[in-house]
Amino acid sequence: MALKVNSVAPNFELPSTNGNKISLENDLKGKPCVIYFYPKDFTPGCTKEACEFRDQFATFRNLDIDVFGISRDNVETHIKFKDQHKLPFELLSDVDGKVCKAYEALIPIVGVPKRISYLLDKEHKIVAVYQDFFGAEDHIKEMLKKIQTV
Protein backbone atom coordinates (compact mmCIF):
# COMPACT_ATOMS: atom_id res chain seq x y z
CA MET A 1 0.00 0.00 0.00
CA ALA A 2 1.42 3.39 -0.97
CA LEU A 3 1.06 6.73 0.76
CA LYS A 4 -2.12 8.55 -0.23
CA VAL A 5 -2.41 11.28 -2.84
CA ASN A 6 -2.87 14.72 -1.17
CA SER A 7 -0.99 13.64 1.96
CA VAL A 8 2.24 15.42 2.87
CA ALA A 9 5.36 13.39 2.08
CA PRO A 10 7.48 12.43 5.09
CA ASN A 11 10.66 14.44 5.49
CA PHE A 12 13.96 12.63 5.12
CA GLU A 13 17.67 13.25 5.02
CA LEU A 14 19.81 10.76 3.12
CA PRO A 15 23.36 10.59 1.77
CA SER A 16 23.57 11.33 -1.94
CA THR A 17 25.83 10.51 -4.85
CA ASN A 18 26.82 14.20 -4.88
CA GLY A 19 28.68 13.73 -1.57
CA ASN A 20 26.13 15.64 0.51
CA LYS A 21 23.04 14.70 2.44
CA ILE A 22 19.76 15.64 0.78
CA SER A 23 16.88 16.76 2.98
CA LEU A 24 13.38 17.02 1.55
CA GLU A 25 12.46 19.76 4.00
CA ASN A 26 15.62 21.86 3.66
CA ASP A 27 17.24 21.22 0.28
CA LEU A 28 14.03 20.88 -1.72
CA LYS A 29 11.92 23.45 0.07
CA GLY A 30 9.41 24.99 -2.33
CA LYS A 31 10.41 22.65 -5.19
CA PRO A 32 8.41 19.87 -6.78
CA CYS A 33 10.18 16.54 -7.26
CA VAL A 34 9.87 12.92 -8.26
CA ILE A 35 11.10 10.38 -5.74
CA TYR A 36 11.28 6.86 -7.00
CA PHE A 37 12.11 3.82 -4.90
CA TYR A 38 13.66 0.77 -6.50
CA PRO A 39 14.99 -2.61 -5.32
CA LYS A 40 18.68 -2.69 -6.30
CA ASP A 41 21.35 -1.09 -8.48
CA PHE A 42 22.55 -3.06 -11.53
CA THR A 43 19.51 -5.36 -11.73
CA PRO A 44 17.77 -5.47 -15.13
CA GLY A 45 14.49 -3.81 -14.11
CA CYS A 46 16.16 -1.14 -11.99
CA THR A 47 18.65 -0.36 -14.73
CA LYS A 48 15.83 -0.03 -17.26
CA GLU A 49 13.90 2.28 -14.92
CA ALA A 50 16.92 4.49 -14.14
CA CYS A 51 17.84 4.77 -17.82
CA GLU A 52 14.26 5.69 -18.73
CA PHE A 53 14.30 8.47 -16.11
CA ARG A 54 17.67 9.52 -17.60
CA ASP A 55 16.26 9.57 -21.12
CA GLN A 56 13.26 11.67 -20.05
CA PHE A 57 15.20 13.84 -17.60
CA ALA A 58 15.12 16.99 -19.77
CA THR A 59 11.33 17.05 -19.54
CA PHE A 60 11.48 17.08 -15.74
CA ARG A 61 14.31 19.65 -15.64
CA ASN A 62 12.50 21.97 -18.06
CA LEU A 63 9.67 22.08 -15.52
CA ASP A 64 12.15 22.53 -12.64
CA ILE A 65 11.23 19.14 -11.16
CA ASP A 66 14.09 17.28 -9.49
CA VAL A 67 14.33 13.50 -9.73
CA PHE A 68 15.78 11.27 -7.00
CA GLY A 69 16.17 7.52 -6.93
CA ILE A 70 16.25 5.77 -3.55
CA SER A 71 17.28 2.22 -2.72
CA ARG A 72 19.03 0.45 0.14
CA ASP A 73 22.33 0.26 -1.78
CA ASN A 74 25.23 2.19 -0.27
CA VAL A 75 26.54 5.43 -1.78
CA GLU A 76 29.60 3.74 -3.32
CA THR A 77 27.40 1.31 -5.27
CA HIS A 78 25.09 4.18 -6.26
CA ILE A 79 28.06 6.17 -7.60
CA LYS A 80 29.18 3.23 -9.77
CA PHE A 81 25.63 2.71 -11.03
CA LYS A 82 25.17 6.43 -11.72
CA ASP A 83 28.51 6.70 -13.55
CA GLN A 84 28.04 3.55 -15.61
CA HIS A 85 24.62 4.65 -16.85
CA LYS A 86 25.35 8.40 -17.01
CA LEU A 87 22.43 9.28 -14.76
CA PRO A 88 21.91 13.08 -14.55
CA PHE A 89 20.07 12.92 -11.21
CA GLU A 90 21.08 11.97 -7.70
CA LEU A 91 20.67 8.58 -6.10
CA LEU A 92 20.06 8.50 -2.36
CA SER A 93 21.17 5.74 -0.02
CA ASP A 94 18.69 4.40 2.52
CA VAL A 95 20.82 1.56 3.87
CA ASP A 96 18.72 1.02 7.00
CA GLY A 97 15.43 1.22 5.07
CA LYS A 98 13.81 3.81 7.35
CA VAL A 99 12.85 6.17 4.52
CA CYS A 100 11.60 3.29 2.38
CA LYS A 101 9.44 2.21 5.30
CA ALA A 102 8.13 5.76 5.91
CA TYR A 103 7.05 5.91 2.24
CA GLU A 104 5.41 2.45 2.35
CA ALA A 105 8.08 1.34 -0.12
CA LEU A 106 9.53 -1.61 1.78
CA ILE A 107 8.46 -5.20 1.30
CA PRO A 108 7.82 -6.59 4.80
CA ILE A 109 10.01 -9.40 6.14
CA VAL A 110 12.46 -9.44 3.18
CA GLY A 111 13.22 -5.71 3.56
CA VAL A 112 13.65 -5.06 -0.16
CA PRO A 113 12.33 -1.75 -1.54
CA LYS A 114 9.26 -1.89 -3.73
CA ARG A 115 9.25 -0.18 -7.12
CA ILE A 116 7.13 2.87 -6.36
CA SER A 117 7.24 6.47 -7.60
CA TYR A 118 5.90 9.63 -6.01
CA LEU A 119 5.36 13.03 -7.62
CA LEU A 120 5.43 15.80 -5.01
CA ASP A 121 4.30 19.38 -5.53
CA LYS A 122 6.24 22.40 -4.20
CA GLU A 123 4.60 22.00 -0.76
CA HIS A 124 5.63 18.30 -0.87
CA LYS A 125 2.07 17.08 -1.04
CA ILE A 126 1.79 13.85 -2.97
CA VAL A 127 0.26 14.61 -6.37
CA ALA A 128 0.66 11.16 -7.91
CA VAL A 129 1.75 7.67 -6.94
CA TYR A 130 2.58 4.78 -9.21
CA GLN A 131 3.41 1.31 -7.98
CA ASP A 132 4.29 -1.64 -10.21
CA PHE A 133 7.14 -3.96 -9.35
CA PHE A 134 7.58 -5.33 -12.87
CA GLY A 135 6.62 -2.37 -15.11
CA ALA A 136 9.77 -0.28 -14.65
CA GLU A 137 9.26 1.93 -17.70
CA ASP A 138 5.63 2.62 -16.78
CA HIS A 139 6.76 4.65 -13.76
CA ILE A 140 8.21 7.36 -15.98
CA LYS A 141 5.16 7.39 -18.27
CA GLU A 142 2.85 7.85 -15.29
CA MET A 143 4.96 10.63 -13.77
CA LEU A 144 5.12 12.43 -17.13
CA LYS A 145 1.32 12.25 -17.44
CA LYS A 146 0.90 13.82 -14.00
CA ILE A 147 3.49 16.63 -14.15
CA GLN A 148 1.00 18.98 -15.80
CA THR A 149 -0.84 19.12 -12.47
CA VAL A 150 2.16 20.34 -10.46
Tell me the per-residue pLDDT of 25-49, one tens digit each, with 9 for 90 and over.
Answer: 999 999 999 999 999 999 998 999 9
Residue-level pLDDT at 137: 62
- DSSP secondary structure string for all residues of 17-43: TTSSEEEHHHHTTT--EEEEE-S-TTS
Residue-level pLDDT at 37: 96
Q: What is the DSSP letter of 117?
A: E
CB 22 within 8 A of CB 13: yes
- CA 145/CA 101 separation, integer angstroms: 26
Domains of the chain: 41-149 (3.40.30.10)
Supply the residues annotated as catalytic: 46
Three-state SS annotation for 96-114: CCHHHHHCCCECCCCCCEC
Residue-level pLDDT at 130: 85
Residue-level pLDDT at 109: 87
Prediction pTM value: 0.90
Q: Which residues of the chain have pLDDT under 50?
A: none
Task: Give the CA distances from residue 30 to residues 27, 62, 148, in Å, rounded to whole numbers and listed in that order.
Answer: 9, 16, 17
